[in-house]
């Protein structure tokens, strides 16, 4: 994997782009609200609930790290839970700053490779985690659509269409990941296609040698895939942990609701709203879903908050479930990068 995946220049470009989106979002979405009123509203909330929400986001990342740890140990790959925490936050950081979260998984594979974890293991681990996560998110959305259909009935038409688009994207991705993990022909076909294209474009000097190495990698990948199939309990464990992970994420919006002193709507109402947003934003490939996530929040949660409190609740929710975790992700990524590169220099 090439160094440009983690180059500072590319990171700065992504961060500047995301910052620009944030500025536009604030200017457009919050143009009808007074900054003084927002500050006053935020200053009146109960901090206990916000701190609990922050703790849940640490739990959210801890669950993802636990899935890393369980899968790799089942694949007989020695690793530590601390390193899995690093891979989790590295993925979160690069997912947040790249369009459609496309940078997270390649960055994770890059650093796992630096930690001497072969690409066949990192690939099947990440594929399985995303596969299960997509199932959990869509399943939660489907259950909430039945239990709290009135929320969707009161939502704007554009949000409903976005929700359907997001669900379609996630189901398509689930099908693709299933094929990549368990099909015996998809991976070899894609590699052969890439090699033929590379030869035509004169990208490879020794295509036969590359093909031989990739064939060995495919054999190893198939062995790991069969190991996953032979251990259905692993899927169940990852599913349960992922369920707890996304329940924690959705609970943040309920805790923000409680922090304003509201009790009219119950926990499932707020969790359902966040669950619908999680699916809808999948259809828009923007870094961190900045802009569309805020717009969707105002649409859905406008049913639960009075107008003057709504933007404050949106800001607090986004700080807790996106901006604060992004800061923590960058800090962990910086330390992990230093650790991994230092170990590589020692071994070379």
Q: What is the pTM of this model?
A: 0.86
CB-based burial label for 173 (10 Å; 0-12, 13-18, 19+): middle
Q: Given a cut of 80, is residue 222 above it in pLDDT? A: no
pLDDT (average), residues 125-130: 92
DSSP structure class, residue 173: H
The pLDDT of residue 248 is 97
Spatial distance between the Cα atoms of 300 and 276, rounded to a whole number of angstroms:
9
Residue 24: count of CB within 10 angstroms of its CB: 12
The pLDDT of residue 10 is 65
Query: What is the percentage of the chain residues whose pLDDT exceeds 70?
Result: 85
The pLDDT of residue 2 is 44
Q: Which of 83-87, 156-160, 342-346 has the lowest mean pLDDT?
A: 342-346
Residue 39 near residue 96 (C-beta atoms within 8 A): no
The pLDDT of residue 7 is 63
The pLDDT of residue 1 is 43
Residue 305 near residue 297 (C-beta atoms within 8 A): no
The pLDDT of residue 147 is 95
Kindly provide the b/e burial profile for residues 301-330, where b requires at least 16 CB atoms within 10 angstroms of the residue's own CB. bbebbeeebbbbbbbbbbbbbbeebbebbb
Residue 167: count of CB within 10 angstroms of its CB: 20
What digits encode the pLDDT tens for the residues 149-188? 999 999 999 999 999 999 999 999 888 888 877 777 777 7
The pLDDT of residue 160 is 95
Q: What angle do CA 319, 6, 199 make, to 5 degrees?
A: 135
pLDDT tier at 41, thresholds 50, 70, 90: low
Spatial distance between the Cα atoms of 154 and 151, rounded to a whole number of angstroms:
5
pLDDT (average), residues 6-16: 65
Q: Note every long-range contact of 15-18, with CB atoms under 8 Å and residues 24 or more positions apart, other chains counting.
A: 15/97, 17/287, 18/96, 18/97, 18/287, 18/288, 18/290
Question: Which residue would you say has higher pLDDT here, 191 or 330?
Answer: 330
Residue 62 near residue 107 (C-beta atoms within 8 A): no
Question: Which residue would you say has higher pLDDT here, 122 or 347?
Answer: 122
The pLDDT of residue 148 is 94
Q: Which of 28-42, 143-157, 295-309, 329-343 has the lowest mean pLDDT?
A: 28-42
Q: Given a cut of 60, is residue 54 above it in pLDDT? A: yes
What digits encode the pLDDT tens for the residues 226-243? 888 888 899 999 999 999
Residue 281 near residue 292 (C-beta atoms within 8 A): yes
């Amino acid at each position: 994997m090439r160094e440009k995946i983690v180059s500072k220049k590319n990171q700065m470009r992504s961060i500047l782009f995301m910052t620009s989106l944030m500025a536009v979002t604030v200017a457009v979405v919050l143009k009808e609200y007074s900054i003084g009123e927002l500050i006053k509203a935020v200053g009146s909330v109960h901090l206990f609930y916000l701190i609990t929400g922050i703790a849940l986001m640490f739990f959210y990342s801890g669950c993802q790290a636990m899935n890393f740890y369980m899968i790799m140990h089942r694949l007989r790959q020695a690793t530590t839970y601390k390193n899995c925490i690093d891979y989790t936050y590295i993925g979160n950081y690069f997912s947040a700053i790249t369009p459609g979260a496309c940078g997270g998984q390649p960055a994770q594979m890059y650093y796992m490779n630096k930690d001497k974890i072969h690409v066949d293991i990192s690939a099947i681990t990440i594929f399985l985690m995303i596969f299960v996560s997509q199932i959990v998110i869509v399943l939660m959305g489907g259950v909430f659509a039945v239990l709290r259909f009135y929320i969707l009935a009161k939502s704007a038409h554009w949000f409903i269409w976005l929700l359907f688009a997001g669900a379609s994207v996630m189901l398509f991705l689930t099908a693709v990941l299933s094929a990549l993990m368990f099909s015996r022909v998809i991976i070899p076909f894609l590699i052969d296609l890439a090699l033929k294209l590379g030869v035509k474009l004169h990208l490879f000097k020794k295509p036969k040698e590359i093909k031989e190495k990739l064939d060995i990698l495919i054999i190893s990948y198939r062995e790991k895939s069969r190991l996953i199939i032979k251990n259905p309990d692993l899927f169940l464990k990852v599913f349960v942990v992922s369920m707890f992970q996304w329940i924690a994420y959705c609970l943040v919006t309920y805790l923000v609701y409680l922090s304003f002193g509201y009790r009219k709507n119950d926990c499932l109402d707020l969790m359902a709203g966040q669950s619908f947003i999680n699916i809808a934003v999948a259809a828009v490939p923007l870094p961190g879903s900045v802009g569309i996530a805020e717009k969707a929040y105002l649409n859905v949660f406008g049913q639960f908050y009075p107008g003057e409190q709504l933007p404050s609740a949106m800001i607090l929710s986004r700080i807790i479930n996106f901006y604060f975790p992004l800061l923590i992700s960058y800090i962990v990524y910086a330390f992990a990068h230093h650790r991994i590169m230092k170990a590589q220099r020692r071994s070379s």
